Amino acid sequence: TSQPLPPKEKTLFNRILKCYEQKQYKNGLKFAKQILSNPKFAEHGETLAMKGLTLNCTGKKEEAYELVKRGLKNDLKSHVCWHVYGLLQRSDKKYDEAIKCYRNALRWDKENLHILRDLSMLQVHMRDIEGYRETRHALLQLKPGQRAPWIGYAIANHLLKDYTVAFKVLEEFGKTQQNDYYLFDEEMVYEHSELLLYQNYILQEAGLFQQAIEHLETNKEKIVDKLSWLEYKGDLCVKLERLEEAEKIFTSLVNRNPENHSYYQKLESVIKPSNEVERLQIYDAVSAIFPKADSPKSLPLTFLTGPMFQERVDKIMREQLKRGVPPLFVSLKPLYKEQEKVKCIGEIAEQFIRSLEANSKFSPDDEEIEPPTTLLWARFFYAQHLDKIKEYEKALQLINESLEHTPTLIELHVLKAKVLKHLGDTAGAVASMDEAQSLDTADRFINCKCAAYMIRNDMISDAEETAAKFTRENVSIDEYLKEMQCMWYEVACASAHSRANRYGEALKKCHEVDKHFTEIIEDQFDFHQYCMRKMTLRSYVKMLKLEDSLRSHRFYFQAAKAAIKVYIHLHDEPYQPGDRIQDEKESSMSNAELKKLRNKQRRQERKKAAAEERKKNEQHDKSGKKNHTDTILINPSFCNFCQISNPLEQAQKFLAPLELYCSGKFETHYLAFQIAERRGTLLVMLRALLRAQKVAKESDMPNLHVCRVRFAKK
């Protein structure tokens, strides 16, 4: 710093720092005032900066920035000023700027631990891994006695794929730990175990399988997560071709958990059965030990054929229909890709029904008599089967017959709604779903389904009313579901608005989904420090990988698709402010009815606004801090979304992550083609067309053909 303080003022300044750490902002400001009211120090940079930082915590953001910048200008060589400026930027999530400030701060104080730590967090968050490694290295050299610098440096190397360095660092770190220390402390035992497993994970990623397996053996006692130990060892044995050992391990894993499908896959890859019978033996052996386990019974259905398949599936269907298992169809659905099996299952179900109707038995020469519920579930299953093979009318008939006998079965109403949906009768589907949810109003799942069906039928206000039964009082539905990041709802609404030509509202919902993804990426910030403390390093590294490609998730895909389509439409037919789009209900009403409706809507808007004001005031009272993010607009001017000058630019923004993460989907390239077409960029069009061709399926062929023609015409 170029403005050193005399002892009295220095003490005051240290008090300001303490007050800031202890969140005693009023006192901090008092001390700052004492320094600054002295004309000699009225422009003392560091004090001004600290005053600004303190003010920022009380919500006075603009003043805070002014003061901090003023302080910085007065004392450009002060690492404190730069650090404070960095903290300010970070609190506003301007991470790139914050990193720059921290780097400047470090120029004046290379060995400031605080700054180095803060910087490292930001660097890993922004995925500046090289920078992260540098910073971690500096920290390690300064504080080799602390745990975090070692771990951080190792992680940095791991992320940069410098596996040998990462492993060695952790080995050295392990040596500095007192060995018998952790025998007395459960938490330390667990942490050490996690550290060892992380090391092993690094070795596996490096491809050093022999070393990894030896590492596992040496540390067998210290690793308390026995399941992970077994799984790692099993995989490594496979990679090292130690097949007999692998078989033993996977067998013991299956005995631990006979429902984990991956264990069976691995067993098969190790045992290498030569035909169906041998394959079946593996599963039957497990069934013998665990007769109630589902997986060993149902998994063989995927590879069995002919009479063996028939025998097995018949047995399973009998068991589950007798037990009354509603999702029997769901578990057999994967088999419906093979026509033979579909036919077989259908015939079995038909026979069951006929026999049960005639004399309450699965087949005429059975001894056991079945209760009426068996027939009920058999009919339910067969109706789902008919629906799947597109015999909708038959399915509907069967469902209605069943409802005559058992009108109280909610699953039947839900199925009826689904079949009606497939037939295109969205209004009838809503009616059925509504009946279903009215029979059990405590069931949240049905409530959600009902809301979803209503949205599909463009009954958005009804959907809101339905959803309101399960959301918090005094908060508007939209706000609550936004807070809960309920993306299926937002995407469904966006599609519905889009269909009704309410483009502004559709875009608003799409942008909200996009914001959720930004928030989720943002949320990882605290974990950078937390995971290192808790040693949950494997999960941490996996989380980083997940966050890296977060927008590959289908919710983003759906929202982006909807948004891009709307923007393309807005490009083709620009929005006129005078357009007052009416929805179906409104266009069929008389003027008087319309006026009544508008009044009702205005009243509802006012109620909404009042509820939000109340909520804002509550938050204001609690923290004394104003809620800066998401200022709630009372009358959302959807026009803002529509009246933009360059909709294609916005569309491109939504498209970018799709091209990165969803390049296997036809729609990505189809949309890219349409945008490029309107921009007139022929090369981009061609590229999109070629990519689309590579991934197109049969159902995409019509659209592909259109693209080809349009390209040829250019």
Partner 1 sequence: MGQIKGVRIELGGITQHNIKQLKRLNQYIFPVSYNDKFYKDVLEVGELAKLAYFNDVVVGAVCCRVDVHDGVRHLYIMTLGCLAMYRRHGIGSVLLEHVFKIAKSQGNFHSIFLHVQINNDSAINFYKHFGFEIVETKEHYYKRIEPSDAYVLEKRLIPEKSA
Q: How many helices (H) and strands (E) does the chain have?
A: 39, 0
Written as one letter, the residue type at 153 is Y
The CA distances from residue 306 to 157, 281, 342, 385, in Å, are 54, 17, 12, 20
Residue 536 CA neighbour count, 13 Å, CB half: 11
Q: In the complex, what is the shortest distance from the CB of residue 569 to partner 1, in angstroms, rounded to a whole number?
A: 43
Written as one letter, the residue type at 599 is N
Q: In the complex, what is the shortest distance from the CB of residue 473 to partner 1, in angstroms, rounded to a whole number?
A: 17
Structure tokens at 588: 């069929």
Q: In the complex, what is the shortest distance from the CB of residue 398 to partner 1, in angstroms, rounded to a whole number?
A: 15
Please, what is the end-to-end C-alpha distance for the chain in angstroms?
A: 65
Q: In the complex, what is the shortest distance from the CB of residue 89 to partner 1, in angstroms, rounded to a whole number?
A: 51
Number of residues that bind partner 1 (CB under 8 A): 20
Q: In the complex, what is the shortest distance from the CB of residue 318 to partner 1, in angstroms, rounded to a whole number?
A: 12
The CA distances from residue 640 to 69, 115, 575, in Å, are 34, 42, 10
CB contact set of 346 (below 8 Å; sequence gap of 6+): 382, 385, 389
CA 56 to CA 84: how far, in whole Å? 11
- What is the three-state SS of 673-691? HHHHHHHCCHHHHHHHHHH
Distance of CA 347 to the CA centre of its chain: 41
Q: In the complex, what is the shortest distance from the CB of residue 323 to partner 1, in angstroms, rounded to a whole number?
A: 8
Which of the residues 17 through 56 are near partner 1 (CB under 8 A)? none
* Residue 227 binds partner 1, judged by CB under 8 A: no
Q: Of 35, 159, 216, 409, which lies in the binding site for partner 1, with binding defined by CB under 8 A?
A: 409
Q: DSSP code of 340?
A: H
Q: Per CB under 8 A, which region of 151-159, 346-354, 402-410, 447-455 contacts partner 1?
A: 402-410
* Residue 368 binds partner 1, judged by CB under 8 A: yes
* Residue 701 binds partner 1, judged by CB under 8 A: no
- For 507-517, letters b (16+ CB in 10 Å) and e give bbbbbbbbebb
Give the position of tokens 């559709």: 506
* Residue 156 binds partner 1, judged by CB under 8 A: no
Q: Of 18, 33, 127, 405, which lies in the binding site for partner 1, with binding defined by CB under 8 A?
A: 405
Which CB, 245 or 411, lies closer to partner 1? 411
Which CB, 373 or 703, lies closer to partner 1? 373
- What is the three-state SS of 23-61? CCHHHHHHHHHHHHCCHHHCCCHHHHHHHHHHHHHCCCH
Which CB, 405 or 606, lies closer to partner 1? 405
Which CB, 404 or 584, lies closer to partner 1? 404
Q: In the complex, what is the shortest distance from the CB of residue 373 to partner 1, in angstroms, rounded to a whole number?
A: 4
Which of the residues 286 through 345 are near partner 1 (CB under 8 A)? 322-324
Q: Of 37, 275, 339, 408, which lies in the binding site for partner 1, with binding defined by CB under 8 A?
A: 408
Q: Per CB under 8 A, which region of 67-75, 368-376, 638-646, 686-694 contacts partner 1?
A: 368-376
Q: How crowded is residue 714: how many other Cβ atoms within 10 Å of its Cβ?
A: 9
Which CB, 375 or 532, lies closer to partner 1? 375
Structure tokens at 378: 């058999």
Q: In the complex, what is the shortest distance from the CB of residue 376 to partner 1, in angstroms, rounded to a whole number?
A: 7
CB 53 within 8 A of CB 87: yes
Q: Of 369, 484, 546, 706, which lies in the binding site for partner 1, with binding defined by CB under 8 A?
A: 369
Which of the residues 426 through 445 are near partner 1 (CB under 8 A)? 438-442
Which CB, 19 or 414, lies closer to partner 1? 414
Which CB, 199 or 437, lies closer to partner 1? 437
* Residue 371 binds partner 1, judged by CB under 8 A: yes
Per CB under 8 A, residues contacting partner 1 are: 322-324, 368-373, 376, 405-409, 438-442
